Amino acid sequence: MTASAPADSTSGTLYVVATPIGNLDDISARALKVLKDVALIAAEDTRHSMRLLQHFGIQTPLAACHDHNERDEGGRFLARLSAGDDVALVSDAGTPLISDPGYHLVRQAREAGIKVVPVPGACAVIAALSAAGLPSDRFIFEGFLPAKAVGRRTRLQALVEEPRTLIFYEAPHRILESLKDMADVFGADRPAVLARELTKTFETLKGLPLSELCAFVEADSNQQRGECVVLVGGHTAPEGEEAVSAEALRVLDLLLQEMPLKRAAALAASITGVRKNALYQAGLERKS
Ligand code: SAM
């Protein structure tokens, strides 16, 4: 990212405002105040956000800021901000930019030296993680997997040895095939949690090994409806075997193209900090 220009004190502020992911009570008092006070709200879908504003009696004007116009129309919002108007950015649900539009506008604003302020709130990935009971000290958010099976399995394959908790968004009509691919690629026994319809009437958090989670979802078509987050426990090395991270394996693979295993393992060990023996073993397994 290029360094942002120094903030211009006459410019307005771009507020990035989180809205609820279901339960309207999850909007913060600060979010409501900001939405009421700004000159303009840049919204992913103006009709959708209009309903939220009407519910809270807010009359601030709305303008569209979605995936298709964000890059070209960003200038319109920047002009308003540069002229001194405060603007709030919202998406249909949850936190803007998190699998939602807003990235280009935020980036452009920062590059133009406009102050960008987050107004935090609901976010499905964090809500799901907070209640899933899987390790939460380190996790990775993968957003939506590719819709087509080949692309999806390739992406999952690249994550097989990822030790951190994995979090995915998924569309309901693809949940079953995605879970089946996860069970195939990560293994039937990997712990997983399906977090569905969070904060809504039919909220479900179901934790089972992947193969059993597939069976549970397949047996009940209701589980294939609504909005869902899938969380999968990270890779754990078999007992007695040291975990070799995906990054360490990538380094090892690159070095193996240039030198024998013993030397590659030693060099990869000094680059990544993983023990030489563990890398040597991993190299042997890869060769076989
Ligand atoms: N910006 C949003 C956020 O902060 O979470 C995410 C927007 S993304 C377009 C929509 C996806 O988020 C859904 O397909 C689902 O995977 C997840 N999601 C949103 N609301 C949810 C909810 N109430 N329960 C479970 N998942 C939800």
pLDDT of 128-149, one tens digit each? 999 999 999 999 999 999 999 9
Torsions phi, psi of 218, nearest 5?
-65, -35
Mean pLDDT on 212-225: 96
For the chain, what is the mean pLDDT?
93
Tokens of 83: 């002229």
Mutate which of 49, 103, 169 for ligand 1 pocket (most atoms within 8 A of beta carbon): 169
139, 128 in Cβ contact below 8 A?
Answer: no
**Residue-range definition of the domain harbouring residue 283:** 240-287
**Does 165 sit in the ligand 1 pocket, CB within 6 Å?**
no
Torsions phi, psi of 253, nearest 5?
-60, -40
Question: For residues 74 and 80, what is the distance between their CA atoms, to the nearest angstrom?
Answer: 10
253 and 218 together in one domain: no
129 and 107 together in one domain: no
Among residues 75, 17, 12, the alpha carbon closest in space to that of 44 is found at 17
Percentage of the chain beyond pLDDT 70 is 95
Among residues 152, 195, 141, 196, the alpha carbon closest in space to that of 177 is found at 152
Per-residue confidence (pLDDT) for residue 264, from 0 to 100: 94
Predicted TM-score of the model (pTM): 0.83
Q: Is the pLDDT of residue 217 over 50?
A: yes
Q: Is the pLDDT of residue 11 over 70?
A: yes
171, 124 in Cβ contact below 8 A?
Answer: no
Question: For residues 175 and 122, what is the distance between their CA atoms, to the nearest angstrom?
Answer: 22
Kindly give the distance from the C-alpha atom of residue 125 to the centroid of ligand 1, in angstroms, as a whole number.
7
Interval 95-133: pLDDT, tens? 999 999 999 999 999 999 999 999 999 999 999 999 999
Mutate which of 205, 229, 231 for ligand 1 pocket (most atoms within 8 A of beta carbon): 229
158 and 206 together in one domain: yes
30 and 97 together in one domain: yes
Domains identified in the chain, total number: 3
Interval 24-61: pLDDT, tens? 999 999 999 999 999 999 999 999 999 999 999 999 99
**Does 248 sit in the ligand 1 pocket, CB within 6 Å?**
no
Report helix angle 261-272 to 276-287, nearest 10.
130
Mean pLDDT on 67-86: 87
Per-residue confidence (pLDDT) for residue 263, from 0 to 100: 94
**Does 142 sit in the ligand 1 pocket, CB within 6 Å?**
no
141 and 217 together in one domain: yes
Q: Which atom of ligand 1 is closest in space to residue 95's alpha carbon?
A: 4
* First and final C-alpha spacing in the chain: 42
Q: Is residue 100 part of a domain?
A: yes
Per-residue confidence (pLDDT) for residue 3, from 0 to 100: 47
Lowest mean pLDDT among 64-68, 132-136, 141-145, 164-168: 64-68
Kindly give the distance from the C-alpha atom of residue 38 to the centroid of ligand 1, in angstroms, as a whole number.
26
Kindly give the distance from the C-alpha atom of residue 224 to the centroid of ligand 1, in angstroms, as a whole number.
15
Mutate which of 17, 95, 99, 203 for ligand 1 pocket (most atoms within 8 A of beta carbon): 99
Mean pLDDT on 162-175: 97
Q: Is the pLDDT of residue 2 over 60?
A: no
CATH assignment at residue 94: 3.40.1010.10
Q: Is residue 5 part of a domain?
A: no
Lowest mean pLDDT among 66-70, 255-259, 274-278, 280-284: 66-70
Per-residue confidence (pLDDT) for residue 196, from 0 to 100: 98
